[in-house]
Structure 1
Amino acid sequence: MAEQEGMHRELKTRHLSMIALGGSIGTGLFVASGSAISKAGPGGALLAYAGIGIMVYFLMTSLGEMATYLPVSGSFAVYSTRFVDPAMGFAMGWNYWFNWAITLAVDISTAALVMQFWLPDVPGWIFSTVSLVIIFAINALSVKSFGETEYWLSIIKVVTVIVFLVVGVLTIFGILGGHATGLENFTMKKAPFVGGVPMILSVFVVAGFSFQGTELIGITAGESETPEKSIPKAIKQVFWRILLFYIFAIFVIAAIIPYTSPDLLGSSASDISISPFTLVFQRAGLASAASIMNAVILTSVLSAANSGMYASTRMLHSLAEQGYAPKKFRKTNKRGIPMAALWGTTFIGLLTFLASVFGSRVYVFLLSASGLTGFIAWLGIAISHYRFRKAFEAQGHKVSELKYSAKWFPVGPILALILCILVILGQDIQSFQHFDWEAISVSYMSIPLFIVLYTYYKIRYKTKLIPLKDVDLSKK
């Protein structure tokens, strides 16, 4: 895109690796993994996280192929527009922007909850306001300041997971904690699989939310110094790290804490005071574990807010470049920052936060509406990649021309497509069993929202699915 020249390519390979890795290691691992084990048992949780991990790998390789060929900021909307249908690009872009703008508000609200662990008498809105100002300043300074901040916040999370794994293994063998648990918790009562397929499917959703953020590598591609080298390298590194951190970490938690533990039931995103990591550290005899993990969870929340601000700002800028949003959001300053888009995103994040303070029902509505948007974005990546590769071959190109090609095509995008649909439909399968229409409408609100956006653009501009031979493969 011609306007992309206004963006500064300041993100290095180490930034991209850590952004993709750090974007996926957060409260989903540190907090929600406990509830996953309590619901589906150790085997069910491991199966769900491994399945989603494989799907994410295929999505990353699909995104990597497109991002090295056409590195643009706000990639999902651009790829959907050029390789599928402009109506899909419109819906995909606004869907993803909405997701991160709402998530930004959730994160600054969560930051207040975390801080009140230490300072319970200070009003939460003060911490949220300070967090928002800090995140805004980081993103307003430069692309490099965002990358460096995310790099160091991610390192804190990665080091914590490594220390946790070491302590966990020592505890399993009885070197710490005084009692060797071995694998006894994997065979107790109904373990390793609890609740059958419905419970495993529900944990697929939890695992999916935990992995969301890995796709940020596609958003950052437009501001990478050497996307053709840094993106493939980042994808290879991130896959193995995520698999190691997530699968091994859940194995350690499940081996030490039985799935029947009432403490694991409290391990949900709404209760950040109980982390399965904290439970394991306490089991090993580390008394200050709660305070340490609370500090780590705070860095995770701030990292997520930082990434959310960056992603939503770039997506709004990209939407304006394609004519899907007001022209004023196209402008960048001398440092390559789209300030109008940054202010716009901050304003929506602030409004949503205020809704959480003064109108909880509005807040819950917005939060529910953004619930499945990450999965819809993944669905868009899989469809766009399938169409891109088919168009590439239909127009006489060979796969060997690509600087980076996704392996196992078309198995990868098709498998990712199927799993994404399965997770989206299985979001709240229990509500269908009890015919709880209110719960169904809240859980699946993202789907009609996407359909409305898609249908509006399709009817207004009479767009059609682009024939493979007419797909625009030019690198501009």
Structure 2
Amino acid sequence: MCTGLFVSIGYGLIEGGPGSLLIAFTIYSCWLGLVNNCMAEMSIYMPVTGGWVRHGSKWVDEAFGFMLGYNFLLYELCLIPFEISALNLVLTFWRSDIPIWATSLACTVLYGILNITAVRWYGESEFWLAFGKVLLIGIVFMFTFITMVGGNPQHDAYGFRYWREPGSFAAYVTEGSLGRFQGFLGALFQAAFTIVGPEYLSMVAGEAVNPRKTMKSAFKTTYWRYGIFFIGGALCVGIVVPYNDAGLIEKLNGDGSGTGAASPYVVAMSNLGVEVLPHITNALLVTSIFSAGNSYVYCSTRSLYAMSIDGHAPKFFQKCTKNGVPIYAFIVPMLFSLISFLSISSGSAKVITWLANLTEASQLINYIGMCTVYLFFYRALKVQGISRDTLPYKGWWQPYCAWFGLATMILTVLFYGYTTFLTGWWNTGTFFSYYTMCFVSPILYIGWKVIKKTKVVKPEEADLIWERPLIEAYEATLIDDGSKGFWDDCAKAVGLRKRHKTDESIELSSPAS
């Protein structure tokens, strides 16, 4: 998540310090790697539109898939105003008097224009905006290394100074060893919000070109992304700015009305007297955050449309424009974007905190659902006598990996709002922002199960054939175009490599179920 990696990560630094932040991001990356391992095996074996949500309906219980679908939908919908509020926050770097309502309205209108047109224009805009994200990551990594060895206006080779003073581990809530442990928990829960990945790969698997080949590469590179982007990002943040930096604390914990930078990187650049780079970084951050919100509008629209097709949402959400845009499904995320106007009265920083807490619970429930679906899938394979050695991709250390991943995600979702139960910390609104989805999800499952009288799928009755013949028939028609992945596509886009004539026909023939 772009906003989490470049803005919200500052909360983890403030609460835990650089040492706790690095350890927490490393541990959680490993935990999420367990979930990724489960998702890879299922999604490569059965790459269908809707991914793990439809896997849940088919292999666990229709009511379980219903719950997962709405949980994921609400997660995406809430991230739209979250990104807009974050955009309001980073814009204060230039001016503090930019009307919040104007930014919120502008984002809503632009999201509407980009998503109401043909999908090719959405794809084209997101493709080019992705360059900004890659460039931003490269800039902050290079900035960290160059400045820490003395390449800055102050000629100060500060190295790991901030790990010594004010220190590697910050105390949070209380003092002493307990406070430092609670600081680590704060950093860990921030990592749980920031680090994402396998859910989106699974969701798009059914529409990917040559899914079993491309998805295998995509899931494998996820581990590298965790190591380089998230763990590397946590290391860099802890190097360039101290956890007790007054400007960072004021911006992230204040009312969001003052001037300054929301990103720890921009704070560090300003502290070192770097004049131009903060503006470039903040500009790229604006485009990246805008791109993230745009993606959530698109994904939530398609999720609601797919749920309608499966009978989990009203049929009128299936109505599309001539351009193929689900018009009524599109209206829902547009309405959710209006939540960002709450920033006018409460401040962008506070709204970001509320929405982050709410979406983190949904995100963790998603991962709990993925591990649960995999355990049912694993059991069905075993009962039906299908060897995992025959699968297109075989995950490692199963089913123990799934069980351990399930346990870690359950513990995280149960305890990530523990501070509300501490003496003097109780706040009803904060409690519900943490745990609302923990109450809503079981209600969705039980309600649909009672209404539709669904049953848990027995392992011997699980449909492991499903769309496999269609997928294999599609793969048999493919022509290898020699594509090497994202960077190869980038080279084609800018004319550094020829695009084969078969590319477009292959993309258009991708199965959508």
- Shift of the alpha carbon at 1:63? 2.0
- Correspondence 1:162 to 2:138: yes
Distance in 2 (alpha carbons) for counterparts of 1:168 and 1:354: 35
- Correspondence 1:101 to 2:77: yes
**Which residue pairs with 1:308 in the alignment?**
296
**Which residue pairs with 2:504 in the alignment?**
none
**Which residue pairs with 1:53 in the alignment?**
29
Aligned residues: 450
**Which residue pairs with 2:6 in the alignment?**
30
- Shift of the alpha carbon at 1:469? 1.2
- SS, match of residue 252 in structure 2: coil
**Counterpart selection for 2:410 from 417, 421, 432:** 421
**Which residue pairs with 1:3 in the alignment?**
none
- Shift of the alpha carbon at 1:418? 1.7
Distance in 2 (alpha carbons) for counterparts of 1:355 and 1:275: 22
Distance in 2 (alpha carbons) for counterparts of 1:28 and 1:106: 11
Distance in 2 (alpha carbons) for counterparts of 1:92 and 1:302: 26
**Which residue pairs with 1:459 in the alignment?**
450
**TM-score normalised by L of structure 1:** 0.85
Contact 2:170–2:183 (Cα < 8 Å) also in 1: no
Q: How does 1:277-288 map to 2 (within 5 A)?
A: 277-288=265-276
Q: How does 1:152-301 map to 2 (within 5 A)?
A: 152-176=128-152, 177-188=154-165, 191-192=168-169, 194=171, 195-212=179-196, 215-266=199-250, 268=252, 271=256, 273-301=261-289
- SS, match of residue 31 in structure 1: helix
Contact 1:74–1:317 (Cα < 8 Å) also in 2: no
- Shift of the alpha carbon at 1:386? 2.0
Contact 1:431–1:437 (Cα < 8 Å) also in 2: yes
Contact 2:148–2:240 (Cα < 8 Å) also in 1: yes
Distance in 1 (alpha carbons) for counterparts of 2:435 and 2:346: 21
Distance in 2 (alpha carbons) for counterparts of 1:28 and 1:442: 18
**Which residue pairs with 2:493 in the alignment?**
none
- Shift of the alpha carbon at 1:189? 5.3
The share of aligned pairs that are identical, in percent, is: 27
Contact 1:68–1:403 (Cα < 8 Å) also in 2: yes
**Which residue pairs with 1:11 in the alignment?**
none
The 1:120/1:281 distance shift into structure 2, 3 A limit, reads closer
The 1:464/1:336 distance shift into structure 2, 3 A limit, reads same
Contact 1:29–1:210 (Cα < 8 Å) also in 2: yes
Distance in 2 (alpha carbons) for counterparts of 1:429 and 1:207: 16
**Counterpart selection for 1:380 from 342, 359, 369:** 369
- Shift of the alpha carbon at 1:97? 0.8
**Counterpart selection for 1:40 from 1, 7, 16:** 16
Q: How does 1:400-439 map to 2 (within 5 A)?
A: 400-434=389-423, 436=426, 438=428, 439=430
> Which AA in structure 2 matches 1:245?
F
Following TM superposition, where does structure 1 have runs of at least 4 consecutive aligned residues deviating by more than 6 angstroms?
363-366
Distance in 1 (alpha carbons) for counterparts of 2:376 and 2:137: 38
**Counterpart selection for 1:149 from 102, 125, 128:** 125
The 1:252/1:370 distance shift into structure 2, 3 A limit, reads closer
- Shift of the alpha carbon at 1:312? 1.0
Task: Name the Cα RMSD after superposition.
Answer: 2.9
**Which residue pairs with 2:332 in the alignment?**
344
Contact 2:148–2:157 (Cα < 8 Å) also in 1: yes
Distance in 1 (alpha carbons) for counterparts of 2:353 and 2:141: 38
**Which residue pairs with 1:21 in the alignment?**
none
Q: How does 1:311-326 map to 2 (within 5 A)?
A: 311-326=299-314
Show CA shifts across 1:16-71 (max 9, x none): xxxxxxxx3x1211112222122112111011111121222232232222222222
The 1:267/1:234 distance shift into structure 2, 3 A limit, reads farther
Distance in 1 (alpha carbons) for counterparts of 2:181 and 2:354: 30
